[in-house]
Amino acid sequence: MKLAKRITGLTGGGSDGWDVFYRARAMKAGGTEVTELTIGEHDVRTDPVILDAMHRAAMEGYTGYSMFNGHFSLRSRVAERVSARTGVPTGPDNVLVVPGGQAGLFATHHAACDEGDRALYIDPYYATYPGTIRAVGAEPVAIRARPERNFQPDPAEIAAQADGAASLLVNTPNNPTGVVYTRDTLEGIAQVARDNDLWLISDEVYDTQVWQGAHVSPRALPDMADRTLVVGSMSKSHAMTGSRIGWVVGPEEAIAHMGNLATHTTYGVAAFIQEAACYALDLGADFEEKIAAPFRRRRDLALNLLEGQSAVRAIPADGAMYVMLDIRATGLSGEHFANMLLDTHHVAVMPGESFGQAAAGHLRVALTVEDDALAAALEKLVALAREAAG
């Protein structure tokens, strides 16, 4: 039987970018000890107090069908949080509850793009972005953010590709680079969106992990609230990756139509998870800072360890749970170096090429192991880079 091109072509006919990760997992399954610095997964599990709230909700009967667009209580809490953090008046009808940020990306592109539309996104990018765009029948168009600009996108280069496009996807704080887009960058991007009548889809799942500068949501910029769809999630802010709970914030009409999409796809999010999310949000900013603190500390550790040598250069790591390392001085691709590091030192990192060609010759290091293990792994990485660079 023939399969649909939309499903067989999700990865564009090539790798999904996770080859080194798969190799590392296979080595671990075979008994080899591997230090994994690959995926953005907290090294602590969801806090027991949140799990207790989830259990109580399940035992109290929150196990049936939930509201397809999200319970009013959770949508209200998200709206209050967004209003407080961004200054943009936001109500429950501006919020759609979705099963994680990935579902939010899928829903927003369905809202913004018709079959065959061009959908813009920034390279380097989170690995699922182009496949998500293909999944809704749109054409993914990558716009490179360049290493010489520390991966800050150039609005002029976006504008050069924007004519006739339907949407633009941005992500700040950024995965994989750890870069926080400046206000000037975002104002330039917003101008491009206004000039070209683009939907701006803003992936803000790392908004609680900002180490330098400040997070600016483009929805808060002038005349942007009616053309911006913001994707948020509990995964990174509350270490709830497996709970699959997130949201989309946008204009009421768009949110209502995406609610119809939820009825025809996810059929809502489990009610006991929504109740646990309400409890988690009520824990406040101090709890979110506690979850973020290890990554701030490890970011500083990594930058300090990389001082005094020239084989590896760190891209300014202003946010998120990663550092992006420039290893072009070795003369090797990120993919070649990452595989060599895994083979020789049993340290797994992600090649920059997994996130697009703009990050070729770079590595993404997830700050997701204990400090001592991270330091030891980075020392091995630097030693190998020095050897390769001669």
**Fold of the CATH domain 5-45+286-389:** Aspartate Aminotransferase, domain 1 (3.90.1150)
> DSSP H helical segments within 241-370, as ranges?
252-264, 271-282, 284-305, 334-345
What are the domain boundaries of the chain? 5-45+286-389, 48-283
Pick the CATH number of 48-283 from 3.80.10.10, 3.40.640.10, 1.10.340.30, 3.40.50.450: 3.40.640.10
The DSSP output letter for 239 is T
Integer angstrom CA distances of residue 134 from 4, 6, 174, 324: 12, 7, 21, 27
244-285 per-position pLDDT tens digit: 999 999 999 999 999 999 999 999 999 999 999 999 999 999
Q: What is the pLDDT of residues 119-133, one digit of tens each?
A: 999 999 999 999 999
The residue whose two tokens read 């119809």 is 260
Cα–Cα distance between 306 and 87 in angstroms, integer?
Answer: 38
Its pTM stands at: 0.96
Residue 132, amino acid: T
- Which long-range contacts link 84-87 to residues 24+ away (Cβ below 8 Å)? 85/207, 85/217, 86/217, 86/219, 86/220, 87/220
CB-CB contact of 72 with 92 (8 Å): yes
Q: To 5 degrees, how large is the angle CA 90–CA 91–CA 93?
A: 120
**What is residue 157's predicted lDDT score, i.e. its pLDDT?**
98
Share of the chain above pLDDT 70, in %: 99
Positive or negative torsion for Cα 200, 103, 213, 92? positive
Q: pLDDT at position 12, please?
A: 83
Which secondary structure element, helix H or strand E, spans residue 158, and what is its range?
A: helix 155-162
Residue 16 pLDDT more than 80?
A: no
pLDDT of 41 above 80: yes
pLDDT at 166 over 80: yes
Per-residue pLDDT of 73-117, as tens digits, reads 999 999 999 999 999 999 999 999 999 999 999 999 999 999 999
